Chains A and B, each alone.
Chain A
Amino acid sequence: MSLVTIFFAIVAMFLVIQSMPGDPVQTLAAEISRTENLEMDLAYAKAKAQLNYDPDVPVLQRLGTYLGGILRGNLGNSLAYRQPVVNLVLGALPWTLLVLSISLTLSFTVGVIAGIFIAWQRKRWLNGLLNLWQSIFGSIPDYIIAYLLIFLFAVTLGWLPSRGPYSAQVTPGFNAAFIGNVLRHAVLPVMAYFLTTVANWTIGMRANALGVLGEDYVAYAAARGLSRRRILVHYVGRNSILPMITSLAISFGFMFGGSPLIENLFMYPGVGYYLNQAISRRDYPLMQGMYFIMIVVVVLSGLLAEWLYAVLNPRLRER
């Protein structure tokens, strides 16, 4: 089923991108004839060969070629970067996944724990604090938060770097200096995502936990004299976390979709950053490649959430 969805999504994306105005071959041909002093039609043929793309062929046939290429792991060549799109995609994906997975894990964990705590405490001021937080951070778009974070921590205080994935001084590889540097660079983007999403998890978890706390088995567990910790973790936590799992995939997809803005602001070379580059430079193959990986990752995250749900839900476990 998800393969069918991926297939149709790729076709839809291909057709949409193909209908963009402007002819990439024409653009490249003009550039080639200028730099290499070639006749226009010679340059045109060369451009067609370089791009592996022919605008004179009907769209359906081009679609077929493209889909065939995907099956063989070939996403075409980037116009702007002059290298295979696959390499760019594989280079960009880890950065986006790094930032998104840290942010999502952090906001989910903090939100779930805070949600249970607030539901358990039933304190008025805690609820008020949560509402205040959500009112502020739920109303400002994450990219504006990111902007203010850069202003505060990078420009004014100078504590944290605001650009790129790591400094030029460190050598990429498996060493402490590099890993530390990468993490330092990831702090601000992660914070931008974290601050804007954590309250959603807290509010959802609080609502679920309040429902579960009213159940008879919780009262029974308390009557049996089980420790508060045990009740909260094993009885309330496990049961109220389940409905949240399905939202994980949706939230991940949403954050992925917002990555062009955040990554652009931090000059962070992830999928969103390259997508933005591709659009502003009219680099069609790169655009398609970044879209392709976005669709695949979003669908996979949905499957992952389903699997996680099944693992955590004792009712779905095989006997």
Chain B
Amino acid sequence: MNNRQNDRLAGVKAFFSVIWRNPMSRAGFIILLVFLLMAVFGPMVIPPLKSDYANRLQGPSAAHWLGTDLAGKDTLLQLILGSRDVLLVAAYAGLFAVLIAAVIGIVAGLNGGWVDRILMLFTDVVLTMPSFPVTMILSMIVRITDPLVFGLVLGLWSWAGLAKAIRSQVLGLKHREFIEASRIMGISKLNIILYDVLPNLVSYIAVNFISIMKGAITSSVGLMILGLVPFQGNHWGVMIQVAISQTGALLGSASMVYFLAPVICLMLFQLGSYFFASGLDEALNPRLRS
């Protein structure tokens, strides 16, 4: 057992050294880490958010580095408070999607036959219906109150592509010697999946987890802009929606900063994910290594 733990530790170390060596994934890793720290520790250390109607819609100043919103609340504080829910929603969405995709992909790939056919028909049906419009309707059916539910709604329709990819990976693995060997040795299916199949898919799933997260952020903000999610709490999407619909950022008033601040954060986060994922892909996929 101790041996196995040591192996794992070495594996994790090797993983991070691979990420660090690739300049793209290093940049992405640093950006994501900054956002993660901001989301975890930011809300603990900042002063409480106060409304201050005397100083509403101000530009950047010494007291308010990024200005204030239409209730006089500090923009920077809102950004920091919002980062937690942005990340939580995206992470839950990625988690749910990856979970569904892995179960469906692995079961379909390993079993084959009619199980495979039914699961793939189901996947094709999901793929046929564009995900954003479906999510729009789902967000009307489910009352979205917290990040967990929001993540579930977003993840529910974004697993299909990954499930197909995992299935074909499993099909490729299925007849390799080490899996055949486990099968002949009479090892249970669950054990084969956990110890032989999954480790081979981890890197692939990690890359997809990040890109699903990226997509989830895009759609979560989109749903908020359309006003379909009565989300209580702080989220960059809420800020953007308020900026567009209530402060007239479109007309070029002082609230442009209030609009641009979350947009730029959003962009930086997406950029970090993109760098991290493509660097990771390059680092873990020997065919892409230059």
**Which residues of A are at the interface with B, using a C-beta cutoff of 8 A?**
4-6, 8-9, 12-13, 16-17, 19-21, 134-136, 138-141, 143-144, 147, 150-151, 155-156, 253-254, 256-258, 260-261, 264, 272, 275-276, 279-280, 287, 290-291, 294-295, 298-299
Main secondary structure of the interface of B (DSSP, over half): helix
Q: Output the least CB separation between A315 and chain B (Å).
A: 21
Given A150-B250, A151-B250: A261 and B222 within 8 A (CB)?
Answer: yes
Given A143-B222, A155-B252: A5 and B133 within 8 A (CB)?
Answer: no
**B136 and A16 contact, CB distance less than 8 A:** no
Residues of B within 8 A of A4 (CB): 121
Residues of A within 8 A of B141 (CB): 16, 19-21
Smallest Cβ-Cβ distance to B263: which chain A residue: A144
Given A138-B274, A260-B226: A253 and B130 within 8 A (CB)?
Answer: yes
Find residues 217-268 in chain B having any chain A CB closer than 8 Å to their own CB: 218, 221-222, 225-228, 240, 244, 249-252, 263, 266-268
Smallest Cβ-Cβ distance to A141: which chain B residue: B218
Q: Output the least CB separation between B123 and chain A (Å).
A: 10
Q: Tell me if B103 is interfacial: C-beta within 8 Å of chain A.
A: no
**B125 and A8 contact, CB distance less than 8 A:** yes
Q: Output the least CB separation between B217 and chain A (Å).
A: 8
**Which residues of B are at the interface with A, using a C-beta cutoff of 8 A?**
121, 124-125, 128-134, 136-138, 140-141, 218, 221-222, 225-228, 240, 244, 249-252, 263, 266-268, 270-271, 274-275
Smallest Cβ-Cβ distance to A19: which chain B residue: B141
Q: Output the least CB separation between B285 and chain A (Å).
A: 13
**A264 and B125 contact, CB distance less than 8 A:** no
Contact of B128 among A135, A140, A141, A299 (CB under 8 A): A299
Main secondary structure of the interface of A (DSSP, over half): helix
Residues of A within 8 A of B249 (CB): 151
**Residue of B121, B133, B266 with most chain A CB atoms under a 10 A cut-off:** B133
Smallest Cβ-Cβ distance to A138: which chain B residue: B274
Smallest Cβ-Cβ distance to A134: which chain B residue: B274
Residues of A within 8 A of B138 (CB): 16
**A9 and B137 contact, CB distance less than 8 A:** no
**A276 and B130 contact, CB distance less than 8 A:** no
Given A150-B250, A155-B251, A261-B222: A279 and B228 within 8 A (CB)?
Answer: yes
Can you show 28 pairs from A to B with CB atoms below 8 A apart?
A5-B125, A8-B121, A13-B134, A17-B137, A21-B140, A134-B274, A135-B271, A136-B267, A139-B266, A139-B267, A139-B274, A141-B266, A143-B225, A144-B263, A155-B251, A156-B252, A258-B132, A260-B136, A264-B226, A272-B133, A276-B136, A279-B140, A279-B228, A291-B129, A291-B133, A295-B128, A298-B129, A298-B130
